Amino acid sequence: MARSRHSHPSTPRRYDLVLYGATGFVGRQAVAYLAAQAPAGLRWALAGRSAQRLQAVRDAVVAAGGTAAAAAGIVEAAADDTRALRALAADTGVVLSTAGPFARVGSALVAACVALRTHYVDITGETPWVRGLIDAHHARAAHDGTRIIPCCGFDSVPSDLGAWLVAQALWHRHREPCIEVKACHRLRGGLNGGTLASALHLLDSGQSAQLAQPFLLNPAGPVPAGAELLAADPALPRRDDDFKAWVGPFVMGPVNTRVVRRSVALLQAAGDAACQPGWRYQEWLRYGRGPQAALMAGAATLGLAAGAAALQWAPARALTQRLAPAPGEGPSQAAINRGSFCCDLVGRTASGQVLRGRIAGRGDPGNRATTVFVCESALALALQRHELPGGPDLGGVLTPATGLGLVLAQRLAAAGMVVGALD
């Protein structure tokens, strides 16, 4: 991770934080969250392609009791209006984007943030798009000390921050570097139309082959011999002794593992003693104990593989689009309230020291948790820049762990999540 040779612009900007995509399903929840949780005095605005719709969102949040939203500004900027996006980026210290599909609507906004040295977070899980951001912007953002941090939603904060916390805790307790972390997810939640639209856009774009590359997001350069094989995505369920349960492939694993591996590579390059070359990360979905769980793991794994194969076929994608929620829609409020997530982690050192960690919370992971993750990430950038890992001048296309680290962990714990090492 490079450090800036030029200090970041300190000229006051009109806003501390601008939320782009505020009219979307997650965007509307983020407006309500900021209205309730942002400190008094934070200057923030709602942004998107229609001022009228943004005003309607702001009015609805105010009417529902989020009176602090009344002071939030409105910024109109279409996703392809380079001039308007540059004006938006010039006017704020931090951009938080929930506008997707990111590969379709996100690139010009990130380019504007890099050009104007405006810090940026989002909730994308579109790793080929993130690869493009790294290639286009990492060097400039690193030079300028601008933090561009994609994947700050449920993909991939629990995995990335959790693995990093476990590795750090192993180092602090045993003075031994971590050689492996495994994560196991349990979750209860629904599907957003916007998430489906992003997945289908990725398949339509012809970039889905990149999803299978285990080191897709790593810095350029060779990976150690045999590493590709060891890092291959799990294809079959198994009984796992660390989690004492049947586990199987997790649908978001091919996203989260790439983000964690980028973190490890960036930390190793920066000389972090807790991370040794060859550090392995893999993740799973938990099905439980006993023969019934084994059957469920087998059936779900088959279903996942069949679904993924069917979606390679354009008519199957068109049918899915017709049956599933449309962009702008998502689970009901009651379903969001009923949801939950739990990411259990196990890390170990070469001498066999083992440490467990957990990141968990209530509410639908793709909505309630994602809103908390990304809003707290943006607030960390807006309010605690000097406490962030690497100091105020660190920049680049980063990850939640490398760009926000302990500050984000502390903010999530303060927001009511379970965050940290367990034993």
The residues of the shown chain that bind ligand NAP, judged by CB under 6 A, are 21, 23-27, 48-50, 53, 78-79, 98-102, 105, 123, 125, 153-155, 192-195, 198, 327-328, 330, 366, 370
Query: In 3-state terms, what secondary structure has residue 226?
Result: coil
Determine contact, residues 274/322, Cβ cutoff 8 Å.
Answer: no
| In the complex, minimum distance from the CB of residue 196 to ligand NAP, in angstroms, rounded to a whole number | 8
| In the complex, minimum distance from the CB of residue 322 to ligand NAP, in angstroms, rounded to a whole number | 16
| In the complex, minimum distance from the CB of residue 168 to ligand NAP, in angstroms, rounded to a whole number | 23
Cβ closest to ligand NAP, residue 378 vs residue 394: 378
d(CA 368, CA 256): 19
| In the complex, minimum distance from the CB of residue 37 to ligand NAP, in angstroms, rounded to a whole number | 18
| In the complex, minimum distance from the CB of residue 343 to ligand NAP, in angstroms, rounded to a whole number | 12
Cβ closest to ligand NAP, residue 211 vs residue 269: 211
| In the complex, minimum distance from the CB of residue 247 to ligand NAP, in angstroms, rounded to a whole number | 21
Query: In 3-state terms, what secondary structure has residue 254?
Result: helix
In the chain, DSSP finds a helix count (H) and a strand count (E) of 16, 14
Going by C-alpha positions, the residue among 360, 205, 357, 183 that lies closest to residue 259 is 183
d(CA 86, CA 337): 37
Q: Are strands 44-48 and 15-20 parallel, antiparallel or unpaired?
A: parallel
> Tokens 């949801």 belong to which residue?
339
Cβ closest to ligand NAP, residue 195 vs residue 399: 195
**Bridge-partner residues for 96, per DSSP?**
19, 121
Structure tokens at 291: 């023969």
Alpha-carbon radius of gyration of the chain: 21
Cβ closest to ligand NAP, residue 168 vs residue 192: 192
| In the complex, minimum distance from the CB of residue 123 to ligand NAP, in angstroms, rounded to a whole number | 4
Query: In 3-state terms, what secondary structure has residue 396?
Result: strand
Cβ closest to ligand NAP, residue 125 vs residue 357: 125
Cβ closest to ligand NAP, residue 246 vs residue 284: 284
Cβ closest to ligand NAP, residue 325 vs residue 347: 325
- Is 5 exposed, middle or buried, given 0-12, 13-18 or 19+ CB atoms closer than 10 A? exposed
Going by C-alpha positions, the residue among 93, 123, 87, 119 that lies closest to residue 106 is 123
